[in-house]
Chain A
Amino acid sequence: MSRDNTIDVPLGAHPDRLGGLSEGDKTDHFVAPFEHGISFDELPDAPPKARFRFSLTGWIGAIIVAFWLFIAVFGSFIAPYGENDLPFPDDYSEFQTPRAGALLGTDVEDRDILSRIIYGAGRTIGISFAATLLAYVLGVVLGIGAAVSGPKVDMAMSRINDAFLSLPTIMLGLVVVAAIGSSIPVLICTAGLIYATVVFRLARALGQEIMVMDFVEAAKARGEGRWWIITREIWPNAAMPLITDFGLRLIYVILFISSLSFLGLGVQPPQADWGSMVRENLGALQYGESIIPVLAPAMAIATLTVAINLVVDDVSAQAGGRLSKRL
């Protein structure tokens, strides 16, 4: 029986989507905390309380995330220009330094950087959020489904999932996007499906772990139905690790999309997204008057992802008090 454990969860995986372990039913490489009986404070019988107290870094992270979410939602009302509009139509020089009329200067096509960052926020966050959500819906449903199904179904689903996992993300993405043609729905679906494989492994491992816990055994012995077990026992206990992983997955999706943009298959010009903004303005580092065109979108990605990380770290630390903290 598997005991893939959860310690790798908040730490997440590689830019290349790996949720830690390579095969679904392999015995743990990690020492499962449950085995030693110290982890009942981590997985209490009752669903964990949803209240957290952020540390200082957690607060900083949360505020930054909230800030970007606000920009993402209300960006089109705030932006001084359209994302493809020229602040100075009669001026043919690119990469201008910040000035009145273009607070962060202009980009390689003489457009207003501030406006593009603001429009890009909505697109970058929107696409990655939608893709991650899709990955979670698919991955969690199938993963927990596999965990509670019989060994044969589980085995088949895991093997298929492993096969997809063994193909490189970016290659899968390239082939699919290039064949169908890039558009935002295609990007969302492709990224969602690719990352669903990781979530599947995670959800399935968590589900299996919890299935053999005493309280589940007890519930089974009481004659509870499968649905009851899923909703009342498995989900509340699996939710926390999954939610922390969600934040990290979001970061990898952002990077995945910006890699596709680098190869010309991501968000299509002139639409702004942060990854492709870094890409199209790379020349500014070489021959621009100002390096803001490339620095600004890079900083936007960095602040968002670091902030998500801070929140995730905080949440996962609060969720599992370990001896290491006291050491």
Chain B
Amino acid sequence: MTGLILRRLGIGLVTVLAVSLIIFFGTKILPGDAAQIRLGQEATPENVAALREKLGLDKPYWAQYLIWLKNFMTGNLGISLASDVPITNLIADRYKNTVIVSCLTALIGVPISLMLGIMAAMFPGSLYDRVLTFVSVSLVAAPEFFTATLLVLLFVFALDIGNAVVVGSTDGKGFFELIAHFALPIATLSFVIASQLIRMSRAAVLNVMSSPYIEMAILKGVPRRRIIFRHALLNAIGPIVNVVALNLAYLVTGVIVVEVYFAYPGLATLIVQGVQSRDFVLIQGLGMIFCLTYVVLMLIADIAAFASNPRLRHPK
């Protein structure tokens, strides 16, 4: 099993390397010169040339790439082109916000969705199953900002609970205070991930239910609840963990709309600002952080899958 994990780790590293190439050379292709952007209106040809040299932009691309990669590995993400401060300063606080929101969403939204999905799998074809399927299908279709608006109207204006935007600092807040602080973003994101989690967990359980050993158990007359909880669920853990990990990755990286809507400073809004101000250094740094987050989460999912399914440890 260690060997397998090491192999996954290797694949993860290769992925990160490939991503670093894509990001670095991708941003090089985009129009705009970093030195020019950083100088803005003060840019004269001499100024630009001097800054290019200082930033190492006069070196060949591959050399720039190696320096950039080395800096990245030592935790130096460079200086923002738009604001002249180290990228790490811009990111630090925002990363915290993003992580808090994703973790809280995962803690609240994921168990509820999984419960709903598994219950649907227990009674396939029942009214409950049909309603839930229909609701989750409709949820897939709702744009995030629409869900967010409905939630704001319902909770903030009709029921007077929670905040329409997230203002104030998270410093010194306890667990429940944090939930209250981010209540509506968490609720919106829970709806966003719920539809898929419900469908996937339902499908994973049902899929296991169709395997011969379950069929055998059914024929033997084992009660359905016992089949699901003792046999089916255990075998469905692998795929479910996988979906959960994918959703977590999404929560860290894909929540731009929700962040903009609730105006809390997370990583995603930083991308929007970086893109607008053509801050390539910022985009590169964020891209790498997202990629690392994704790879680590996938690794965890794999390990969980190996741990839950002995068969996977001995691939043919």
| A touching B, CB within 8 angstroms | yes
Residues of B within 8 A of A262 (CB): 143-145, 257, 260
A-B contact pairs, 6 of them (CB 8 A): A7-B203, A7-B204, A29-B309, A262-B143, A294-B149, A327-B224
Q: Are A263 and B18 in contact (CB under 8 A)?
A: no
Known A-B contacts: A13-B196, A15-B254, A167-B294. Give 6 more (CB < 8 A): A16-B249, A29-B309, A163-B18, A171-B254, A174-B271, A305-B137
Q: Are B256 and A170 in contact (CB under 8 A)?
A: yes
> Which of the segments A82-90, A93-101, A134-142, A318-326 contacts the partner chain?
A318-326
Q: How many residues of B contact A (CB 8 A)?
A: 82
Q: B271 touches which one: A171, A301, A306 (CB < 8 A)?
A: A171
Q: What 0/1 pattern do residues 230 to 270 of B give for CB contact below 8 A with A?
A: 00000100110010011101100110110010000000100
Q: What 0/1 pattern do residues 1 to 17 of A give for CB contact below 8 A with B?
A: 10000011001111110
Residues of B within 8 A of A21 (CB): 242
Q: Are A327 and B218 in contact (CB under 8 A)?
A: yes
Q: Are A31 and B146 in contact (CB under 8 A)?
A: no
Q: A178 touches which one: B192, B235, B275 (CB < 8 A)?
A: B275
> Which of the segments B36-44, B76-84, B100-108, B208-216 contacts the partner chain?
B208-216
Which chain A residue has the least Cβ–Cβ distance from B209?
A: A324
Residues of B within 8 A of A175 (CB): 26-27, 30, 271, 275, 283
Chain A interface residues (CB < 8 Å from chain B): 1, 7-8, 11-16, 18, 20-23, 26-31, 33, 36-38, 159-160, 162-164, 166-171, 174-175, 178-179, 251, 255, 258-259, 262-263, 275, 278-279, 282, 285, 294, 298, 301-302, 304-306, 309-310, 313, 322-325, 327
Which chain A residue has the least Cβ–Cβ distance from B148?
A: A282
Q: B203 touches which one: A8, A23, A164 (CB < 8 A)?
A: A8
Q: Are A298 and B146 in contact (CB under 8 A)?
A: yes
Residues of B within 8 A of A14 (CB): 193, 196, 246-247, 250
Closest 9 CB pairs of A and B: A305-B141, A168-B253, A163-B18, A166-B294, A29-B238, A179-B30, A323-B210, A22-B298, A324-B206
Q: A251 touches which one: B140, B153, B301 (CB < 8 A)?
A: B140
Q: Are B14 and A159 in contact (CB under 8 A)?
A: yes
Known contacts A167-B19, A171-B287, A259-B144: does B207 contact A31 (CB below 8 Å)? yes
Known contacts A159-B15, A169-B254, A263-B272: does B145 contact A282 (CB below 8 Å)? yes
- Most-contacted residue by chain A among B11, B245, B268 (CB, 10 A): B11
Q: Are B145 and A309 in contact (CB under 8 A)?
A: no
Q: A22 touches which one: B238, B246, B253, B290 (CB < 8 A)?
A: B246
CB distance from B254 to the nearest CB of A (A): 5
From DSSP, what is the main secondary structure of chain A's interface residues? helix
Q: CA A175 – CA B224 in complex, angstroms?
A: 50
B286 within 8 Å of A (CB atoms): yes
CB distance from A58 to the nearest CB of B (A): 13
B138 within 8 Å of A (CB atoms): yes
Q: Are A285 and B145 in contact (CB under 8 A)?
A: no
B305 within 8 Å of A (CB atoms): yes
Q: CA A171 – CA B279 in complex, angstroms?
A: 14
Q: Are B254 and A36 in contact (CB under 8 A)?
A: no
**A to B contact number (C-beta, < 8 Å):** 204
Q: Are A322 and B11 in contact (CB under 8 A)?
A: no
B291 within 8 Å of A (CB atoms): yes
Q: Are B143 and A306 in contact (CB under 8 A)?
A: no
Q: A15 touches which one: B14, B140, B260, B276 (CB < 8 A)?
A: B140
B171-207 contacts to A (CB < 8 Å): 192-193, 196, 199-200, 203-204, 206-207
Q: CA A169 – CA B246 in complex, angstroms?
A: 13
- Most-contacted residue by chain A among B27, B204, B224, B286 (CB, 10 A): B204
Residues of B within 8 A of A11 (CB): 196, 199-200, 203
Residues of A within 8 A of B142 (CB): 298, 301-302
B60 within 8 Å of A (CB atoms): no
B310 within 8 Å of A (CB atoms): no
Q: Are A29 and B305 in contact (CB under 8 A)?
A: yes
B124 within 8 Å of A (CB atoms): yes
Q: Are B207 and A7 in contact (CB under 8 A)?
A: yes
Which chain B residue has the least Cβ–Cβ distance from A291?
A: B153
Q: Are B210 and A263 in contact (CB under 8 A)?
A: no
Q: B31 touches which one: A20, A170, A179, A323 (CB < 8 A)?
A: A179
Which chain A residue has the least Cβ–Cβ distance from B21?
A: A163
Q: Are B210 and A38 in contact (CB under 8 A)?
A: yes
B22 within 8 Å of A (CB atoms): yes
Q: Are A164 and B22 in contact (CB under 8 A)?
A: yes
Residues of B within 8 A of A306 (CB): 134, 137-138, 141
CB distance from B150 to the nearest CB of A (A): 8
Q: CA A275 – CA B14 in complex, angstroms?
A: 37
Q: Are A162 and B207 in contact (CB under 8 A)?
A: no
Residues of A within 8 A of B215 (CB): 323
- Most-contacted residue by chain A among B204, B210, B290 (CB, 10 A): B210
Q: CA A160 – CA B21 in complex, angstroms?
A: 10
Q: CA A12 – CA B203 in complex, angstroms?
A: 11
Q: CA A285 – CA B302 in complex, angstroms?
A: 44
Known contacts A11-B199, A168-B253: does B141 contact A174 (CB below 8 Å)? no
Which chain B residue has the least Cβ–Cβ distance from A265?
A: B275
- Most-contacted residue by chain B among A38, A258, A324 (CB, 10 A): A324
Q: CA A309 – CA B254 in complex, angstroms?
A: 23
B316 within 8 Å of A (CB atoms): yes
Which chain A residue has the least Cβ–Cβ distance from B195?
A: A15
Q: Are A16 and B211 in contact (CB under 8 A)?
A: no
Residues of B within 8 A of A12 (CB): 196
Known contacts A29-B239, A168-B290: does B138 contact A302 (CB below 8 Å)? yes
Q: Are B302 and A26 in contact (CB under 8 A)?
A: yes
Q: Are A163 and B254 in contact (CB under 8 A)?
A: no
